[in-house]
A and B are shown apart, each in its own frame.
Chain A
Amino acid sequence: MSRIKSIEELEKLRETIIEKQKARKLSIAICNGPGCLPLGSRKITQAFIDEVKKQKLTDKGVEVRATGCHGFCAQGPLVVIEPQGLFYQGIKVEDAPEIISETIVNGNIIDRLLYTDPDSGEKIPLEKDIPFYKSQQRLISGNNRLIDPNSIEDYIAIGGYKAVSKVLSEITTEQVIEEVKLSGLRGRGGAGFPTGLKWKLCHDNPGDTKYIICNADEGDPGAFMDRATLEGNPHIVIEGMIIGAYAIGAHEGYIYVRNEYPIALKRAIRAIEQAEKYGLLGEDILNSGFNLSLHIVRGAGAFVCGEESALMSSIEGKVGEPSQRPPFPVQKGLWRKPTVINNVETWANIPHIINRGGKWFASMGTEKSKGTKIFSLVGKVNNTGLVEVPMGITLRSIVFDIGGGIPKGKKFKGVQIGGPSGGCIPEKLVDLPVDYESLTSAGAIMGSGGLIVMDENTCMVDIAKYFTNFLSEESCGKCYTCRKGLQRMHEILTDITEGNGKEGNVELLEELANVVKDTTLCGLGQTSPNPVLTTLRYFKNEYESHIKEKKCPAGVCKELITYSVDPEKCTGCMVCLRNCPADAVTGAKKQIHHIDPEKCIKCGSCYELCKFDAIKIE
């Protein structure tokens, strides 16, 4: 492939690829996303490739495609057969021959591999009919299934780089910025700053050297949408960045990827190489006179580097310590030059906005929050996975309609949204619309979109302790109040969960949390007390049970619970006895067992193993 030298050539190439792809009669799209990979989807893909070869179907238009994330992680590994969109779940290597001979060759649907609706008990063959997908609006993530992320041609075939040719040929930098402003797009990385305005500020700053950066240092525990986007469709991010660079006048850019995401790294590197080869990056892109080169920077493992000033400091070869703003990155960013930094999901929205117009984009969502947002729906929820929904959808829709509710019929307690610096939103606010303003008023943040569902067995004091500990380890440690304040909050929370809580602890926590929020430099510090503040706001009674009654209502805090055997239910099956790592269970076959509280280390293995529900937590 030689460099594409003009827009006409790009269009011609697109036609050629589409023509060539018409030979593909059936595609087997196997999810190789973050959720399915550990379940062996790579081996499954290979099994399909081998089987297609074996049954001599390669020439007959059957294509096997390892794709990015399809979203429905709970049912993985997933296989979707195109063009019908037939959805198979829980696939194993052994299923490959049967799928090929039955479904591909004979056109029969294999019943046992279909998704069963838990409510009606009916089998649902097509992906689009499954409740999990029905309420979603998969603007960004929907394309993952259609392309091989390693193939720039696949991306071009679905309209890739059209937006780039549009901006480079037809519209001025000001018009691009206007369009993005019109769309109402706000940063998807956390704070929700209007993207168009950010670009405008950078554009208006004088200077020949400017930079653009893609923040792919997704560090929030329980969030993996940026990983899935970069792995599933790296070119859309690159395309977004080219448009952004053109708009602000940058000729050099960086994608900062977490080192913990080796596949995302590889894909991004490869996508840049391909784009360079095709002439979509480099000098004189599509004969427009516009130059842009992109580089990859590996993050070396520091949550705080997700903060923009820390990230830039890290690119410069220093430690990721946030710095004083102003000056803002759009004024003095990377190497003190005007810089626009946006996260993966933000960049991925840009080509859609250019292709279909800012007005179209603004038609989705609420008054102040436009477009869609990808959430990673995890925790105590049936349909774990990545979901993309229009802004303004209620939490109820996400957790119950899409998420399928709480497993094992347990009671829904709330969600933790926005990453470690987010907040816990209680069940009573389940009809809260999910947009920037509503979440902030409820004490949480949109963050990058981690959404952790919690049930009656989740202790909110423990959750607050967990996040406080996480943030205290991840704090860079510069601001005294962030470092020491978080340590002290953790200390108090530990006391409370260990039964050493005292009167006045709650008030002190609240006072300290507000000071930490007020007096720290960067976004990490300023939002770090949110888990404490929101749990105090909505779940104060749990704190009080820990402190006053020395009880953990959720049965989580080890020091406050005891395990015992329910004599009515115990069948004397010996399972707990044999598996107890501390030899704390006594008894004999078909006799009621007993747990010695002195020896018990409260690991919970008896509770999780008992089939008769005979272990009680008090």
Chain B
Amino acid sequence: MVKLIINGMEVQAEEGWTLLEAIRWVGFDVPTLCYHEGLTPYGACRLCVVEIGKEPRSKLVSSCTYPVEEGLIVRTHSKRVVNARKMIVELMLASSPQSKTVQDLASQLGVQQIRFKVEHEDCLLCGLCVRMCAEQMMAKAIDFAFRGGDRKITTPFDMKSEECRRCGACMYICPACQLRCDGPQAEQDICNACLQITPECLKTYDDVMCYLTTCGACLKQPETKQKETKNNKS
């Protein structure tokens, strides 16, 4: 067993765990995008960064790839970490505003501005599809190609791959392919609709009645119902 300190709390973790596993095991939440429990951690999106060590020598590391170490001091929500995550999400918003995952992250982390030129690059190069294809579907039909700004995910020579079985697992797991919900601001680069919501339950009770990270399920419901009824009519 490895003893480490997460947010001031002493935690016992198993040898070989990653920081993310230990953090989530004790119940803290760290946002992730390129992480998936069923796949090898890759550490591409950098959203899961945490601050380790003591200031001024502390540094940020991606918790999904960093192994637990004896005596390590970990802070999951230090100012430095929170600001870094917000900047990462702002970058993602500017390049892939159509992704629901990214919009949700923006609301969750309170990112309310985009200071970069908005583009529609779609793919975040998180590599979930690449790992899904190789590790779960055993196909190895797609992979990264090129590097730097030219990096992309593709089949060899951008051609139909003989290995591909059209299983669709890559699309299933893609965080950029999942389209945004039809919120009140569906066309805007930042939705932030969830942020505008006052929990319904507070109108009646003194406490919020549920602990979902992004609140609003109860509020959104009537709206969705409205839409559905509209659709049914037409």
Contacts and interface: CB of A to CB of B under 8 A. Distances in A.
Contacts of A473: 148-149
A515 B83 contact: yes
B147 A511 contact: no
B163 to A, nearest CB: 19
Nearest to B47: A480
A481 B46 contact: yes
A304 B148 CA distance: 10
Contacts of B11: none
Contacts of A472: 148-149
Contacts of A488: 91, 94, 116
A512 interface: yes
Contacts of B66: 324, 326
Interface string B1-18: 000000000000000000
B95 interface: yes
A61 interface: no
Interface residues of A, number: 31
Contacts of B44: 478-480
A375 to B, nearest CB: 28
Contacts of B46: 479-481, 519-520
Contact of B84 (A302, A324, A519): A519
A477 interface: yes
Contact of B147 (A476, A518, A521): A476
B177 interface: no
A477 B91 contact: no
B144 interface: yes
A485 interface: yes
B149 A480 contact: no
Nearest to A516: B87
Contacts of B137: none
Contacts of B149: 472-473, 475, 477, 483, 487
Contact of A521 (B62, B91, B144): B62
A491 interface: yes
B171 to A, nearest CB: 21
B52 to A, nearest CB: 11
A474 B80 contact: no
Contacts, number: 88
A518 B49 contact: yes
Contacts of A519: 46, 49, 60, 62, 84, 88
Interface in A504-531: 504, 508, 511-512, 515, 518-521
Contacts of B60: 518-519
Interface string B122-155: 0011100000000000000000101111110000
A484 interface: yes
A474 B83 contact: no
B196 to A, nearest CB: 26
Given A476-B147, A477-B147, A488-B116, A324 B43 contact: yes
B75 to A, nearest CB: 13
Contacts of B151: 476-477, 483
Contact of B87 (A327, A477, A479, A512): A512
A455 B60 CA distance: 37
B115 A508 contact: yes
A327 B66 CA distance: 9
A29 B87 CA distance: 57
B87 A515 contact: yes
A543 to B, nearest CB: 16
A98 to B, nearest CB: 52
B160 interface: no
B185 to A, nearest CB: 24
A480 B148 contact: no
A326 B67 contact: yes
B45 to A, nearest CB: 5
Contacts of A478: 42-44
Contacts of A326: 66-67, 69
A518 B115 contact: no
B117 interface: yes
A488 B65 CA distance: 26
B227 interface: no
Interface in B44-89: 44-46, 49, 59-60, 62, 65-67, 69, 80, 83-84, 87-88
A491 B83 CA distance: 22
Given A488-B116, A508-B115, A520-B46, A481 B91 contact: yes
From B62, B66, B88, B95, residue with most partner A Cβ within 10 Å: B88
A336 to B, nearest CB: 14
B190 interface: no
Contacts of A521: 43, 62, 65
A36 B22 CA distance: 58
Contacts of B69: 326
Contact of B116 (A324, A474, A476, A491): A491
B191 interface: no
Contacts of A511: 87
A435 to B, nearest CB: 20
Nearest to A481: B46
From B44, B69, B83, residue with most partner A Cβ within 10 Å: B44
Given A476-B148, A477-B148, 9 more contacts: A324-B66, A326-B69, A473-B149, A475-B147, A480-B92, A491-B117, A515-B84, A518-B84, A519-B49
16 contacts: A319-B144, A326-B69, A327-B67, A472-B149, A475-B147, A476-B148, A476-B151, A477-B151, A480-B92, A485-B91, A487-B149, A512-B87, A515-B87, A519-B49, A519-B84, A521-B65
Q: In the A-B complex, list the 9 residue pairs whose CB atoms are closest, starting with the nearest.
A: A477-B151, A515-B87, A324-B65, A519-B46, A473-B148, A518-B60, A475-B148, A515-B84, A484-B91
Interface of A: 302, 304, 319, 324, 326-327, 472-481, 483-485, 487-488, 491, 504, 508, 511-512, 515, 518-521
